A and B are shown apart, each in its own frame.
Chain A
């Protein structure tokens, strides 16, 4: 039971981040390498604005995030000259700047955030910290909400259309540029929310974001572009994997084995007989379009 709860808790964090990065990837074909660092910003917002109640702090972080993300998208990511690799580098630079900025302002030492909901609850007989349950459930609910939105609304349909074929979507009357901005802001906000929600559970430090990047990136690599459901599923798999490894093995060994599994799965995925069943990370190239 403990393990299941731990997986749920981890899923809340990874799920929010992975779905966020998947939304951005779907619309822009850019892996947002600053996703973890955006979460770090959210966590610092929760850690520093201690005057306000926790919910308000989270809200402030989200509201403040909107113009910042808008600005980043407008100034740095927009423009036809930017190919996928350059755009990824821009997000890498953004992450670097955020990390360094945080280190300057808040110093490198980790902070803890007071838990807003005290006490434990009994879940089927085993005691569990109440806040962990609350934030796991909240995060999972948000993930489900995003999935429902993507499935049921016009916005979600547009997102899936742009993910599948941006040129065709543009011809059919959607403005991919507006969608891209919207997706970047929404995906970034999911990261900020994840950071703020989980700040009492994690040690808040400038480097925390980078540690989140690998599992989230891995989840994205396992999912299908535009299909947010697969991203959530991949996040669940990644959370289960890391929690299970951690319960069976020491932290170090678990981490090492986790990366080994990541590398192994990436290697397996590169085999053509698996690749044939998937279109992961396939950018439509003229040749492929011509041959299809």
Chain B
């Protein structure tokens, strides 16, 4: 795609270019220097410091794992030590019962994933997953801790099991190597790739992500499962370093500590969790036992302050400087390449002869209230159908049913000849459906250009945007959330258009716009309809706009279709007048 031509065009070009160069050098040099320092660490540190650093790295990997769920997927787990403990016990049990670690550790990782998947599915089934997830993760941790305490013959009960370890230097290099492998693997496959882009969108605006063809449920569940697996691996590394594994590894203390490390270090970064974990662990090891309690109390206070006043953590400032101007959240560059196309059965296979939308006998009730009582509706190819009707007629509900947000109680929804009644939102998007919401829904933390990249990434086809959207496509500096309403609506329209939809759903596209902006938007929509032949289903109250847009008007009243036809015919229909104005007869 040719949109990303001017990513960082800041006016004072000279100074801008210089600081950009400095940043680029720093971005390359800092990781290299850190890597070299870590490799050389055994030559400069005494045994105690090295052991502390090893422990810090294990903790860092644990925090990095948590970051995949809490930071990147937006799913808070306050019992992540459950997964960590699984890994630690896998190593300890292998030593105790003469099993091979190459058997038990993958077993523990598998167990972590098997536990994590139902937990996250249950959590995500709730509209707001925070509270169920917190409860479930606490519960899993307590349950495992209980099991480890009581199965004394196997686990050694409260006393735990001791684990033999190689010498300090070997153990350090083994840990460092494992950490580097896991982090680069996750980074390449998950964070920096398209998966990372999908995850970022799904965590921040699930609605718009689904509307961009992203399967949010799958992406976030996968991130949570990987997060659990990484935590288990960290536990497996931790066991020989600590030398002792007791039921406390499942416990509240560790789950809380890892939250603290991550919160202090900073989420959604690679450096943050490691910096936080190593610093806190070092402090803990070097302070004597007398100050231990006060240290933890101080950490608790610091945690409170960071969560409350500096949610980016303590490394946020330097990271922001290094990243250069622009929003904190950015899509990985991989998202700019247009993704795998799935044109075959979804997009083109059914041909143009199938009508974009056929509804037959669609019913929907909310509890005792019947909102839709059998709607039949057809949108012919290239036609713009306006849906009007008095308040409470069920217009928005109907759009929700077509988009896949609401499941109909009865009836069929067929999109381009495909029975879509049971398809989730993102699958319908891949059939060629695009949607604009009544309140514009864009990923507020990303720049407009990133929003457009997101829209193209998983779309079945992409389209070049008309010239009037050029400013949005080039804007990588502002966040979309700071745009004025009219621009956000334009951005949403651009996102929908970039995915080259063949059927657009619009819910009061001009709501909240002034008359000039509304007229401009209407013209743009009419133009899109004429140029691309995209069919439209528009809910609109403003009759000026309806007159401008509609090829056909459908009047919805009392949950059913009351009348259809050209606007003037419909407006003259006495039944319609009665529905709007109340019956005079």
Contact = CB atoms under 8 A, between A and B. Distances in A.
B367 A277 contact: yes
A221 B136 CA distance: 11
B466 interface: no
A168 interface: no
Given A210-B252, A252-B146, A263-B136, A287 B304 contact: no
B23 interface: no
Interface stretch (A56-64, A154-162, A253-261): A253-261
Contact of A100 (B118, B150, B296): B296
B303 A96 contact: yes
A259 B396 contact: no
B128 A281 contact: yes
A252 B149 CA distance: 10
Interface string B465-490: 00000000000000000000000000
Interface string B545-582: 00000000000000000000000000000000000000
A289 to B, nearest CB: 9
Contact of A96 (B126, B149, B300): B300
Given A270-B126, A287-B441, A221 B135 contact: yes
Given A256-B146, A259-B142, A275-B125, A31 B131 contact: yes
Given A88-B130, A252-B146, A290-B396, A104 B297 contact: yes
A292 to B, nearest CB: 7
Given A86-B308, A93-B307, A97-B304, A266 B256 contact: no
Contacts of A267: 118, 122
Contacts of B138: 213-214, 217
A101 interface: yes
Interface string B199-224: 00000000100000000000000000
Query: Chain A, interface size: which category?
Result: 35 or more
A129 interface: no
A92 interface: yes
A290 B439 contact: yes
Interface string B350-371: 0000000000000000110000
A283 B129 CA distance: 11
A85 B132 CA distance: 12
Interface string B381-398: 000000000000000110
Given A93-B304, A214-B135, A282 B128 contact: yes
A255 B121 CA distance: 24
A86 B441 contact: no
B397 A266 contact: no
Interface of B is mostly: helix
Contacts of A272: 125, 407
A90 B139 CA distance: 20
Interface string A80-107: 0010111011101110110011011000
A172 interface: no
Contacts of A201: none
A126 interface: no
Interface in B489-515: 507
B406 interface: yes
A287 B405 contact: yes
Nearest to B539: A290
Interface in B65-105: 74, 76, 78
Given A100-B300, A252-B146, A266-B132, 17 more contacts: A88-B130, A89-B76, A92-B259, A96-B300, A96-B303, A100-B297, A214-B135, A221-B135, A256-B146, A259-B139, A259-B143, A263-B122, A263-B139, A276-B367, A277-B367, A283-B128, A290-B438
16 contacts: A85-B76, A85-B130, A86-B307, A88-B130, A89-B259, A96-B256, A217-B134, A221-B131, A221-B135, A252-B149, A259-B142, A281-B126, A281-B128, A287-B437, A291-B396, A291-B397
Interface of B: 74, 76, 78, 118, 121-122, 125-128, 130-132, 134-136, 138-140, 142-143, 146-147, 149-150, 207, 252, 256, 259, 263, 293-294, 296-297, 300-301, 303-304, 307-308, 311, 366-367, 396-397, 399-400, 405-407, 437-439, 441, 507
What 9 A-B pairs have minimum CB-CB distances, sorted nearest first? Answer: A270-B125, A97-B300, A93-B304, A291-B400, A96-B300, A100-B297, A104-B293, A286-B439, A290-B438
